[in-house]
């Protein structure tokens, strides 16, 4: 079956695209559209209508062509053919017209859409810019500032807004083809002009002095470290300053600059990584999935309340269990406060917030959980307490219910062993704030059934989480690696750095926050309490934690007490350097016999990031993670690792495993093998001059 068909009906040539699932702009679609326009040039049609079958208009590029040599005709060639047509070409949009799909519509002479349609240019999210004239045509239709806001955000806009902006000429509530045909006939009967967007000019004097400079400054602050937004500004400025063809040439030049950049490669890697992470190696595709129609959550604190919101947002009723009325009310208040913030930000209507809150109820009685399909335990990190809870759930919950733990560190196998149904036990590790963070670490215990695992992965999608599968080990993927990142931040601090230098170095690398600031945000007492449960041998050398412990013992717990590594303004939470902290650092260093030295920013970055990489590769060796890209998903969606770097595993490939290995060997020689023993897989791949991506392909 041809993916593009052409027929004449009532003097209107109809080009129909049918390339499921999203009518992506594959070479076959591009060829079909171009040939159909060329056919219409000399046939009996009076106008041409471009429509799509299925659930959407053209939703963008064909991702299967990413990274492959370009195939003719290119999108610009197709758009030029459309634009040059001597008969009116009308795009009729439904679903989502995104990227090249919207650019195809913009090359048409007129555009109509269903009122339910969405249009947008999301290329920036892949580290790219619209390469089919989007940066030149949108500002000519909408004005410069509206175009910049739309293209740089990458977010789609609804048809009604697109109509106001000038991107769409007519919208319909239903019967798209019928109404679009009538619209095309109306244009023909009125002898409507061939309205080519390229013929619109933007008067340079209409742009306020300093507009682009000011916009760049704002964009630099908002999209720190990203290249694509800056290139988009340059392209839109070209739409003002240059004729159309020169503007298109500038767009193509800056598009190719981004296409070959490490940033776009990283963002495209993350695009695929996010979609791959839900796939479980070896899990049969026909594995049954349980219906989750009701959920119970044990623990109504910040984490439990946040978890509850995920299910309520998906329309699934939730019952929160707490130990007493006071704790339960506190938890319900947290939920109400979170919804209130969302409403205040304009992201949710008051009516919707009320209906979601109504799905969350509370109880003090375990028996109220007996008929729930899924129970998630979200109490504090105490293994014995968790085992007691699961033993109780085992005696109460219905047969087939999934029993999940939200533990960050504890042994899920031991928790499962406290029940007579270990096959129904799984780890569902949400990240704080659970109603915001997209990552869900799914921890597969030794006896977790395929059905429970398949259900967990499907459920993650339903509650709009990105799942990453982990086997059982201390800290699973994310927190296990984080220990070594934290270790190196403490060692850099005691050996010669300051909290400010460490945080600034890591933020310059691209981390959302530096480790000292993160510690203050989370609360330094969390790590302190965790260490209290460890033996001296388990804690490691005092130099890796003594500074943090000293601050806690001084009452400096972080933001919640107004002081940690920094002091904080009570009103603004603005952090300020505190000389008292460096007094502590220098005293602890002296007490432990450490001579402080000058440490440069690059050493800080390499030590923290390469510690992550080395441990991540050990996790791959042990089969804790399925694939390197899953580790990248964990760190980008759970720990603020910059997506434009692609996660620690992708970054290792970008740097080169040989360089990573050699640097770790240098650190080993300087600091000892106890801290810096290269992973065996890293050494092997470095010697073979291979990448983790190549290794993963061999394992698949």
- Residues taking part in catalysis: 103, 123
Q: Is 361 buried (19+), middle (13-18) or exposed (0-12) by CB count in 10 A?
A: middle
**Phi–psi pair at 362, nearest 5 degrees:** -130, 160
Q: What sign does the dihedral 412-418-423-425 (CA atoms) show?
A: negative
CA dist 648 and 645 (Å) reads 8
Type and span of the H or E element at 428: strand 425-430
CA dist 163 and 87 (Å) reads 23
CA distances for 692 relative to 613, 631, 673, angstroms: 11, 12, 23
For the beta carbon of residue 396, count every other beta carbon within 10 angstroms: 18
Edge-to-edge strand ranges of the sheet holding 118-120: 96-98, 118-120, 157-158
The set of residues, in sequence order, having a beta carbon less than 8 Å from that of 217 and lying 6+ positions away, is none
For the beta carbon of residue 37, count every other beta carbon within 10 angstroms: 22
- Per the structure block, which two tokens stand in for 33? 């559209």
The set of residues, in sequence order, having a beta carbon less than 8 Å from that of 579 and lying 6+ positions away, is none
**Phi–psi pair at 686, nearest 5 degrees:** -65, -40
Length of the chain: 700
Orientation angle between helical segments 499-509 and 515-522, nearest 10 degrees: 110
CA nearest to 686, candidates 662, 658, 663:
658
- Per the structure block, which two tokens stand in for 138? 């949108």
The set of residues, in sequence order, having a beta carbon less than 8 Å from that of 354 and lying 6+ positions away, is none
**Phi–psi pair at 192, nearest 5 degrees:** -60, 140
Q: Are 273 and 632 in contact (CB under 8 A)?
A: yes
β-pair partners for 118: 96, 158
């Amino acid at each position: 079956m041809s993916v593009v068909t052409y027929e004449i009906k009532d003097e209107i040539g109809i080009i129909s695209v049918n390339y499921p699932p999203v009518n992506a702009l594959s070479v076959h679609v591009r060829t079909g559209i171009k040939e159909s326009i060329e056919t219409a040039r000399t046939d009996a049609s009076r106008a041409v209508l471009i429509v799509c079958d299925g659930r959407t208009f053209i939703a963008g590029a064909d991702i299967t062509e990413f990274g492959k040599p370009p195939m003719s005709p290119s999108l610009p060639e197709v758009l030029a053919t459309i634009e040059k047509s001597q008969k009116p070409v009308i795009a009729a949009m439904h679903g989502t017209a995104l990227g090249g799909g919207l650019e195809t519509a913009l090359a048409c002479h007129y555009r109509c859409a269903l009122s339910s349609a969405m249009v947008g240019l999301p290329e920036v999210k892949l580290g790219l810019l619209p390469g089919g004239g989007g940066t030149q045509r949108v500002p000519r239709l909408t004005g410069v500032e509206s175009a910049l806001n739309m293209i740089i955000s990458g977010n789609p806009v609804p048809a009604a807004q697109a109509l106001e902006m000038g991107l769409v000429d007519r919208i319909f509530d239903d019967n798209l083809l019928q109404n679009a045909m009538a619209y095309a006939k109306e244009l023909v009967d009125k002898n409507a002009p061939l309205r080519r967007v390229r013929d619109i000019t933007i008067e340079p004097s209409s742009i306020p002095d300093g507009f682009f400079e000011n916009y760049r400054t704002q964009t630099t602050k908002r999209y720190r470290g990203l290249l694509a937004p800056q290139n988009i500004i340059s392209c839109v400025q070209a739409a003002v300053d240059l004729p159309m063809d020169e503007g298109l040439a500038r767009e193509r030049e800056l598009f190719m600059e981004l296409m070959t950049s490490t940033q776009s490669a990283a963002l495209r890697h993350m695009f695929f990584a996010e979609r791959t992470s839900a796939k479980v190696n070896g899990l049969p595709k026909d594995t049954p999935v349980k219906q989750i129609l009701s959920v119970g959550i044990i623990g109504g604190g910040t984490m439990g309340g946040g978890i509850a919101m995920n299910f309520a947002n998906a329309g699934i009723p939730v019952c929160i269990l707490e130990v007493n009325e006071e704790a339960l009310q506190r938890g319900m208040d947290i939920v109400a406060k979170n919804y209130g913030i969302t409403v205040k930000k304009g992201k949710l209507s008051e009516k919707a917030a009320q209906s979601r809150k109504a799905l969350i109820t509370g109880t003090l009685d375990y028996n109220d959980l007996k008929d729930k399909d899924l129970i998630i335990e979200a109490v504090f990190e105490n293994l014995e307490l968790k085992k007691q809870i699961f033993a109780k759930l085992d005696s109460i919950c219905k047969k087939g219910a999934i029993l999940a733990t939200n533990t960050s560190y504890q042994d899920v196998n031991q928790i499962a062993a406290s029940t007579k149904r270990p096959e129904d036990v799984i780890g569902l590790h949400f990240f704080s704030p659970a109603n915001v963070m997209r990552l869900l670490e799914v921890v597969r215990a030794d006896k977790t059934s395929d059905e429970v695992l398949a259900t967990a992965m499907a459920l993650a999608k339903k509650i709009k989480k990105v799942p990453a599968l982990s086997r059982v080990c201390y800290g699973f993927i994310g927190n296990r690696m984080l220990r070594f990142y934290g270790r190196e931040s403490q060692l850099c601090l005691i050996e010669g750095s300051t909290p400010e230098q460490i945080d600034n170095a890591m933020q310059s690398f691209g981390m959302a926050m530096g480790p000292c600031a993160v510690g203050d945000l989370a609360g330094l007492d969390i790590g302190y309490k965790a260490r209290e449960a460890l033996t001296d041998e388990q804690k490691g050398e005092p130099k890796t934690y003594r500074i943090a412990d000293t601050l806690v013992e001084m009452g400096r717990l972080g933001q919640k007490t107004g002081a940690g590594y920094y002091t904080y303004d009570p009103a603004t939470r603005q952090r300020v350097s505190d000389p008292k902290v460096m007094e502590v650092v220098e005293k602890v260093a002296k007490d432990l016999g450490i001579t402080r030295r000058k440490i440069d920013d690059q050493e800080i970055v390499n030590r923290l990031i390469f510690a992550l990489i080395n441990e991540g590769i050990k996790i791959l060796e042990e089969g804790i993670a399925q694939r390197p890209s899953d580790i990248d998903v964990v760190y980008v969606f759970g720990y603020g690792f910059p997506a434009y770097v692609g996660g620690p595993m992708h970054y290792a490939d970008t740097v080169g495993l040989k360089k990573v290995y050699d640097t770790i060997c240098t650190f080993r020689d300087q600091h000892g093998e106890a801290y810096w023993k290269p992973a065996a897989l890293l050494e092997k791949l470095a010697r073979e001059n291979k990448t983790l991506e190549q290794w993963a392909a061999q394992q698949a």
